[in-house]
């Protein structure tokens, strides 16, 4: 496998119990690519994404993310892999008892960075997502768009090699959605972070030359 390949799936099958969701998927994604995965509701988009951060183990076949094989991966290796990923969720998954700033530094806390580094990085990221003024507020005091910007800042906190976004604009209006797309595009273009977005919306940036996979009838197909 080339060093440039960040995600590689080979005959990948994913199931919930006895129900196959994805069957014999084959694809690979290179470093710095921006990828869309679309498909109808219930087609398995989120399942595929979850398998990439080890929330679901492959039933058969192989899935390699950042050089780590995810079949039968042990907890320690999985934790290690997750600290190098940025994950964005449709429902934001922020910790409501924590301030915006503390939510943003979560990946840095987990990685054991010093308080000074956490503070500096948090200030930089909050400025980047234009939330400096709101850093001491709690997630439930923010709008949906603002919460998702916190989610993006958290995903970028540790300069991940891969950002996995599950319907990141699913709950947002057009303006907020565009802000989120811009933030993810910037990460891809400026930091060469690979960004993989699962969505059922056809976003405006679709006009750009990003690779696009569609999930249909359990298969994962690239759209040319």
Partner 1 sequence: MKFIKNHLTFIFPMVAILLGVEFFLVFDRTTDSYESGLKEGYSMFVVANKALELQDFQGLNKHISHAEEIHKESLARQIAHGVSQTSPEEILKALPFFYNLKLDGYLDSSELENIKEDLVKSESIKKVETFGNAYSSSYRLFSFIKFILKAFFIFMGLVSFFLIVKQMEIWKYKHKERMQIMKIFGAPLMLRSGVLFRVAIVDAMIATLLTSMVFLALKYKWAQESHVDILMQKQNLLFETTDFLILLGSSLLIVIVSVSLVVFSASEKE
Give the shortest CB-75-to-partner 1 separation in angstroms: 9
Cα–chain-centroid distance for residue 91? 13
**64/68 Cα distance (integer angstroms):** 5
* Cβ 82 to partner 1 shortest distance, Å: 3
Contact 138, 100 (CB under 8 A): yes
How open is the CA angle 139-141-144, to the nearest 5 degrees?
65
The candidate with the shortest Cα–Cα distance to 51, out of 92, 81, 76, 30, is 81
Q: Single out the segment in contact with partner 1 by CB under 8 A; choices: 14-22, 27-35, 81-89, 206-214.
A: 81-89
Distance CA 163, CA 13 (A): 22
Return the residue of 16, 40, 67, 80 that touches partner 1, per CB under 8 A.
Answer: 80
Binding flag, residue 151, partner 1 (CB under 8 A): no
Least distance in angstroms from the C-beta of 95 to partner 1: 5
Kindly identify the residues of this chain, within the stretch 41-60, that bind partner 1 according to CB under 8 A. Answer: 53, 55
Q: Is 81 in the site for partner 1 (CB under 8 A)?
A: yes
User: Minimum distance from CB of 170 to partner 1 (Å)?
Assistant: 18
Q: Which of 67, 70, 78, 73 is nearest to 1 (CA)?
A: 67
The CA distances from residue 188 to 22, 24, 35, in Å, are: 27, 28, 10
The verdict on 97 binding partner 1 (CB under 8 A) reads yes
Stretch that binds partner 1, among 8-16, 60-68, 107-115, 212-220 (CB under 8 A): 107-115
Kindly state whether residue 109 participates in binding partner 1, applying the rule CB under 8 A.
yes
94 near partner 1 (CB under 8 A): yes
For partner 1, which residue of 7, 87, 104, 184 counts as binding (CB under 8 A)?
A: 87
| Burial class of residue 51 in the structure, from the number of CB atoms within 10 Å of its CB (0-12 exposed, 13-18 middle, 19+ buried) | buried
8 A C-beta contact, residue 104 and residue 157:
yes
Q: How far is the CB of 188 from partner 1 (least distance, A)?
A: 20
Spatial distance between the Cα atoms of 67 and 167, rounded to a whole number of angstroms: 25
Nearest residue (CB) to partner 1, 38 versus 118: 118
* CA distances for 27 relative to 69, 76, 81, angstroms: 15, 26, 20
Q: Interacting stretch for partner 1, rule CB under 8 A, among 25-33, 35-43, 60-68, 78-86?
A: 78-86
Q: In the range 110-149, which residues lie near partner 1 by CB under 8 A?
A: 110
Binding site for partner 1 (CB under 8 A): 53, 55, 78-83, 85, 87, 93-95, 97, 106-107, 109-110, 154
């Amino acid at each position: 496998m080339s060093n440039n390949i960040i995600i590689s799936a080979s005959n990948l099958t994913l199931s919930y119990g006895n129900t196959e969701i994805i069957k014999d998927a084959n694809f690979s994604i290179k470093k710095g690519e921006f990828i869309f995965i679309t498909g109808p509701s219930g087609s398995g988009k989120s399942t595929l994404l979850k398998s990439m951060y080890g929330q679901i183990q492959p039933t058969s076949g192989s899935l390699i993310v950042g050089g780590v094989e995810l079949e039968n991966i042990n907890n320690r290796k999985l934790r290690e892999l997750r600290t190098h990923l940025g994950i964005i969720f449709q429902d934001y998954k922020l910790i409501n008892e924590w301030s915006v700033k503390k939510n943003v530094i979560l990946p840095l806390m987990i990685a054991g960075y010093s308080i000074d580094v956490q503070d500096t990085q948090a200030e930089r990221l909050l400025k980047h997502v234009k939330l400096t003024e709101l850093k001491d507020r709690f997630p439930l005091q923010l709008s949906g768009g603002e919460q998702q910007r916190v989610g993006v800042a958290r995903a970028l906190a540790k300069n991940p090699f891969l950002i996995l976004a599950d319907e990141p604009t699913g709950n947002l209006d057009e303006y907020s959605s565009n802000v989120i797309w811009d933030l993810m595009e910037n990460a891809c273009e400026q930091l060469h972070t690979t960004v993989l977005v699962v969505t059922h919306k056809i976003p405006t940036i679709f006009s750009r030359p990003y690779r696009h996979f569609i999930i249909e009838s359990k298969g994962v197909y690239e759209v040319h």
